[in-house]
Structure 1
Amino acid sequence: MNGEQLALSKLLKLAKGYHSALKVPEQATDWLDIQSSSLLVARLHQYWQQQYPEAGRSYWAIKSWGMLYWQPLYLAVISVHELTMSFSLQPMQQHYQQGVIAGLQLPTIKAQHHHSQQQAITNMAAHLKSYVVKLLTDLNLVARLNERLAMSLLADTLLAILLLHAKRKPQFNIQLMAAHWLHALDISEAGEFIMLTACSDSLALTRKTCCLHYQIGDVAKCANCPKQPQQIKVQRMQQELITACCS
């Protein structure tokens, strides 16, 4: 096994530890390839439009966008903070089935190792942005989602993944690394970390953007939904923490 194969093997093994769907699926149907992704992106958007016609255009666009970027974003964060490495996402293929993008394959990567995580962030952020902007361009052929909002949505997910990493690595300087990521991606609007103290000190994320999930029917807003007063939001997040502590 050469250096690139070893780096890829480590990356994929780590990825499965962060999210069980980050693996090559046993039964694959359709693959999203960045070089020819527009038709599949259109199918993805059409699925959510038909599944929840009452939810509206903004929901269909935001739901589709979240599906498109979540896997490359996870790989980018894991690559940087577990391996101090960056690589191009262009060879990546994402598995698609019935409105859901989950599962991936990477035939090879040209890994670049760095002396610091900050340096790795700078390089990996450039690869990530190049990849997701292409997908956003494809999405905007059938929907309407401006880049500023799209990248703010991505930023909130980025912060959530960094929070997950911080729980695995208690010495991780999440505030510093989050700032580096947002700067490298040229994102000015993102959520914030707050400390919850309901049953134990626990860092949590208050989102800047809304997923609009509540628009699909009789569904409550997320606990950290930005479409709530801050006081209500914090109270709900504290209650979730208490429930988690007691379970």
Structure 2
Amino acid sequence: MQTSLANQHASRLEALTHVSQQVSPLLVELTEGAHVIEPNSTSRQEVQSLYQYWKQHYPEAGAVYWQTRTWTMLVWQPITIALVTTYYAEHVPPISTMKQAVNLDNGVVGQFDFAEHNWQLGDQHQRLAIAAKELKLLIADLARQLSDVCRMSPATQEKLLADTVMEMLLRGLNHMVSVSLLTKEQLHPTFAHELQHWQQALELPLTRFGRLDVSIDGEYFVQRRACCMHYRRADGDYCQGCPQNK
């Protein structure tokens, strides 16, 4: 039984990583020997090392940048997997048990696996509800681990979380347009409809979310609620949609 479950898990994980790499090449299966951040464990050293990477490489940017970069690195991958499994899979993995690798040579979090193998089947609405519930559990644990390393207000964490949901949802919809699964005209109403479901399922206040805007060349982008603080780096600049760039 355990062997069968493990084989099923391996097969589903392989299929998930195959689809996920269309969103980001970093979304691959966890490799042996990686530095791992995982929930319900003592990953403090790995989170501390992640924070120290950004502190040591960009001292001029200050603590607000180091903590922001650390938090967004911790959450981007599980958010993306929650979206991918909702829209492109039949089963939702146990996201609350997600293990993530951190590359201490470049400060990037990528690669993943799950400590448990109980994937849940459902239609799209059910998958969204399951994924959001699992994601909330993991985010709460990651916030706890971050609090052992640095201080970041829950409001800022939620704004960055909401920004990431919006940006990864937009990236996914842009991909659907590129492969003719969605028309450009359908993108905005589809984005608004799906984002409302995620906002409610994740129980985030509407005030945490930015908005979808259009650039001068007609491309959609997210007008963010929280700044990623990239402009504070010596080599940095304001990002498109930056709330600081008035």
Q: Normalised by the size of structure 2, how large is the TM-score?
A: 0.83
Equivalent residue pairs, number: 226
Matches of 2:91 and 2:14, distance apart in 1: 13
Match of 1:72 in 2: 78
Match of 1:203 in 2: 220
Match of 2:145 in 1: 138
Amino acid in the other structure paired with 2:158: M
Match of 1:53 in 2: 59
Quick check: 1:28–1:95 contact (8 Å CA) kept in 2? Answer: no
Matches of 1:193 and 1:6, distance apart in 2: 36
Quick check: 1:213–1:221 contact (8 Å CA) kept in 2? Answer: yes
Matches of 1:31 and 1:3, distance apart in 2: 23
CA shift in 2, pair 1:84/1:158, >3 Å: farther
Q: Is 2:29 aligned against 1:10?
A: no
1:75 shift after superposition: 0.8
Q: Which moved more, 1:168-177 or 1:73-82?
A: 168-177
Cα deviation 1:72-121 (Å, max 9, x = unaligned): 11111100011153231244321122222122234663221222x23322
Report the 3-state secondary structure (helix = DSSP H, G, I; strand = E; otherwise coil) of the residue aligned with 2:22. Answer: helix
Cα deviation 1:14-71 (Å, max 9, x = unaligned): 1112100111366754122222222211121122222222211111111110111111
Report the 3-state secondary structure (helix = DSSP H, G, I; strand = E; otherwise coil) of the residue aligned with 1:20. Answer: coil
CA shift in 2, pair 1:25/1:83, >3 Å: closer
Which residue of 113, 124, 143 maps to 2:121?
A: 113
- Percent identity over the alignment? 27
1:5 shift after superposition: 4.1
Gaps of 5+ in 2: none
1:1-247 superposed matches below 5 A: 3-24=8-29, 28-34=33-39, 35-98=41-104, 99-106=107-114, 109-115=117-123, 117-170=124-177, 171=182, 173-188=190-205, 189-196=208-215, 198-199=216-217, 201-229=218-246
Matches of 2:101 and 2:24, distance apart in 1: 15
Match of 1:241 in 2: none
Cα deviation 1:136-173 (Å, max 9, x = unaligned): 11111121112221121011111111111111224362
CA shift in 2, pair 1:4/1:28, >3 Å: closer
1:211 shift after superposition: 0.3
Q: Normalised by the size of structure 1, how large is the TM-score?
A: 0.83
1:204 shift after superposition: 2.2
Report the 3-state secondary structure (helix = DSSP H, G, I; strand = E; otherwise coil) of the residue aligned with 1:18. Answer: coil
Q: Which moved more, 1:134-143 or 1:34-43?
A: 34-43
Report the 3-state secondary structure (helix = DSSP H, G, I; strand = E; otherwise coil) of the residue aligned with 1:208. Answer: coil
Gaps of 5+ in 1: 230-247
Matches of 1:51 and 1:160, distance apart in 2: 26
